[in-house]
Structure 1
């Protein structure tokens, strides 16, 4: 059975975002995930009144200068990579990451205070060349979900780094039984967040929000996109997607490759 990571939002039509493999494929974002999907709904109309939805909560101030992280084995990696360090992970300050793509530069600023274990993993993958020469395999170009998704070296939407880890901000601000954890909020333009296949199944796939989008607070937010990077993504989005995922978008009509990724 194919496992599917989901990015969806709002009120009306369930949207799925593939990010995990079937049992017979050679890569998986979430082999250890107890469920195969996590579904919610999105407004069907192309014009969405964002004022109907709340904002993400404030990022809490760290209570200690470092945390320990856990990265659990989750099937074969789509590209050879070592898991990141797990102890004494900083949760202070920011990290800059620069993508060069065939369509232009995309600069990122990663926020350790929001998601130290996510930033730790992302930096580790970047430094190991995991994102180099990899495609951005999915574009959703219609409200209320306007994102470019990347981070799967296989380009299939099923690949991961061979490990999985827990959700962080904003998910960790809610108890699992809190109804507010399932209420759509606005993920603002310029947000970087992780794709997943349900709680605590983060791997390497991430999405870049280039226009305000509506999502449940179940996707770890770990940084922001530069204005130059947003201009690159908006140019890609203008060409649209191939519709292969129906209401979820599809492959970008303009093929996008991350040629190099560097921490700097």
Structure 2
């Protein structure tokens, strides 16, 4: 018969075996859990890697206008036209396309001329003016021509008619021609005064009132427009009209309106002209110098709410002809 000590040793041994078995089972469970977690993480990493490789994390393209190109600038070859001046190019995106921007032109002919640039209708022309003004491109340059259309032509640093920056941009805001608006066709009068369809009458009837003339003019006095060389390839040259210009075939991009100083432009338009070297007497005999041209910060002002500088109606004898720019 076993002694009490033997029974105690057996019980202790059995207890130890049970404890060791429980510990072994617990260790196996922990290992299984770790293995499961590791396998799950591995599968998750594989899945995420495959998703990334297939472009799953790529963001969808947005149509944010501020992130899109607003303007395109076409580079010009200075070897073809040696009159061009390289001052870089304006930005193509993040350009203001609403409201207006003030531009101030100071000449040697009197008080400064202020212009309101239309950012909605001519954002690229306004961006070009802003860029060039920041480079002092227009400072101490001459206005090279008084056109037969009733405008002062400026913006050519070389005073040759062919100067500009080493980039061009397309037309933006050319008024509609008479084919699109038959209510405003040029009159047969030498003065170029238009006759509207509604007021047409037999020969000898009075011509339209000055207010009707200004309303139907494609380029009213005070209009600022780009002029390209060749047409449609705009650079830095621009026109400021001192008379209402009526034409059946508009070809100049309207960029803004004179808000003050139109009398200075009229004064320049009345200067005596001389031959510009091409046989045309269109160059001002007295030098018209742009001492500085600056462009201010954009404004949310509606350009249609600001009328051009008030001027007396042009008399028939002073109205411009519809001749092209020389």
| Residues in 1 aligned to 2:291 and 2:101: alpha-carbon distance in whole angstroms | 20
State the secondary structure of the residue aligned to 1:83. Answer: coil
Structure 2 residue 117 is the aligned partner of structure 1 residue 110: yes
Spell out the pairing of 1:179-218 with structure 2 (5 A cutoff): 180=180, 186-198=218-230, 200-215=232-247, 216-218=249-251
How many residue pairs end up in the alignment? 192
Q: Following TM superposition, by how much is the alpha carbon of 1:98 offset from its aligned partner in structure 2, in angstroms?
A: 0.9
- Under a length normalisation based on structure 2, what TM-score does the superposition of the two structures give? 0.53
2:201 is aligned to none
The alpha-carbon distance between structure 1 residues 198 and 109, as it changes in their structure 2 partners (threshold 3 A), is same
The alpha-carbon distance between structure 1 residues 224 and 116, as it changes in their structure 2 partners (threshold 3 A), is same
Structure 2 residue 94 is the aligned partner of structure 1 residue 88: yes
| Residues in 1 aligned to 2:99 and 2:231: alpha-carbon distance in whole angstroms | 26
Structure 2 residue 290 is the aligned partner of structure 1 residue 258: yes
Spell out the pairing of 1:243-254 with structure 2 (5 A cutoff): 243-244=275-276, 249-254=281-286
Q: Following TM superposition, by how much is the alpha carbon of 1:101 offset from its aligned partner in structure 2, in angstroms?
A: 0.8
Task: Check the 8 A contact 2:162/2:229 in 1, yes or no.
Answer: no
| Residues in 2 aligned to 1:239 and 1:166: alpha-carbon distance in whole angstroms | 32
Does 1 or 2 have the higher relative contact order (CA < 8 Å, sep 6+)? 1
Task: Check the 8 A contact 2:171/2:252 in 1, yes or no.
Answer: yes
Structure 2 residue 174 is the aligned partner of structure 1 residue 170: yes
State the secondary structure of the residue aligned to 2:165. Answer: coil
| Residues in 2 aligned to 1:234 and 1:117: alpha-carbon distance in whole angstroms | 27
Task: Check the 8 A contact 2:225/2:256 in 1, yes or no.
Answer: yes
1:235 is aligned to 267
| Residues in 1 aligned to 2:219 and 2:290: alpha-carbon distance in whole angstroms | 23
| Residues in 1 aligned to 2:145 and 2:84: alpha-carbon distance in whole angstroms | 17
- Under a length normalisation based on structure 1, what TM-score does the superposition of the two structures give? 0.65
2:134 is aligned to 127
- For residues 64-111 of structure 1, the C-alpha deviation after alignment (integer angstroms, 9 at most, x for no partner) is 678611001012363341110001222101111111111122111101
Task: Check the 8 A contact 1:99/1:258 in 2, yes or no.
Answer: yes
